[in-house]
Amino acid sequence: MENITKINLGKNGPLVSKLGLGCMRMSSVWGSPVNDETESIATIQAALDNGINFINTGDFYGAGHNEMLIGRAIKGRRDDAFISVKFGAIFYNGQWLGLDLRPMAIKNFINYSLVRLGIDTIDLYQPCRLDGSVPLEDVVGTIADLIKEGKVRHLGVSEITADQLRKANDIHPVSALEIGYSLADRQIEKDLLPTAKELGIGVVAFANTAEGLLTGNMKAPLAASDYQNHFSRFQGENLIKNLEKVEILKNMAEEKGYTPTQLAIAWVNAQGSHIMPLVSMSKRSRLPENIAAMQISFTADEINTLNTQFSPGAILGGTYLQR
């Protein structure tokens, strides 16, 4: 049974679910343990059963493990899934080495992705970010060539600036921009979001809970092993002050009968019909609550409270989203 609204991904773009499934946490990226594969596959299939057709991965998630997992999950039901793949990041032994965005590398990456996914065409293909090492014209031009060849259907971009977005769209129409966006990370509202809207480009918004900050479950200080310790937002006095802000979200969630995570997703969803919350899940048990979050509405006073208390810059310290 389908419970999710469908939207066009960008102006005159393909029809996709308003809620996207992020599959990264199903694989080991930063040296974390691999989640139960049977449960991960069941989660993807349950998402498809509920009308969530936007499936997001990266060819570097678990060195291809994530793509193979998705390939197993969508076998026999390719038409139910819209597959979004990021490329370009190079990891070795769980460590980030950099980017490889050379045209030759892109043409190599996609062939491996198609085999691992067990499909003939990737629906949305995008560099995970840009570093200036290869001209944008060469990166986008290569994907445009892959579209002509039939290996890719639509061009996406990820974690870029407003100027880069305009330039990419001039080279070849961009269907979607993938970018981090949450109540705690609103810097893209100044230039990038308005540019995407002006150009008719869909927005795939990840990190809706700001690396766990907005879940309401975080306490100071964090455990020494928590990866969030690398970011100044989660350190010392910053974390204490930031968690005071989260109490406002927790109180509103309790009054409305939802969780803070659901409200965080719902706020992103409410920012526009062209914006898709991309939520990472690896367990079927998470699906009902995340689907329910898409039905949450806010009063004008509630929106005003959230926008005021979580105004740009209200959350202290940075993360990798702020570069």
Q: Give per-residue pLDDT as tens, 105-141.
A: 999 999 999 999 999 999 999 999 999 999 999 999 9
3-state secondary structure of 58: strand
Confidence class for position 31, pLDDT limits 50, 70, 90: low
Task: Domain of residue 281: give its range.
Answer: 6-210+261-297
The string of pLDDT tens digits covering residues 199-210 is 999 999 999 999
197, part of any domain: yes
**For the domain that residue 115 is a member of, what is the CATH number?**
3.20.20.100
How many structural domains are present in the chain?
1
Q: Which residue among 61, 92, 112, 227 is the active-site one? A: 61
228, part of any domain: no
Owner of token pair 């469908």: 6
pTM: 0.95
Who contacts 177 (Cβ-Cβ below 8 Å, separation ≥6)? 156, 157, 158, 160, 165, 192, 196, 201, 202, 203, 204
315, part of any domain: no
153, part of any domain: yes
222, part of any domain: no
318, part of any domain: no
| Whether residue 61 lies in the annotated active site | yes
| pLDDT attached to residue 1 | 41
316, part of any domain: no
Confidence class for position 3, pLDDT limits 50, 70, 90: low
18, part of any domain: yes
> How far apart are alpha carbons 13 and 15 in whole angstroms?
7
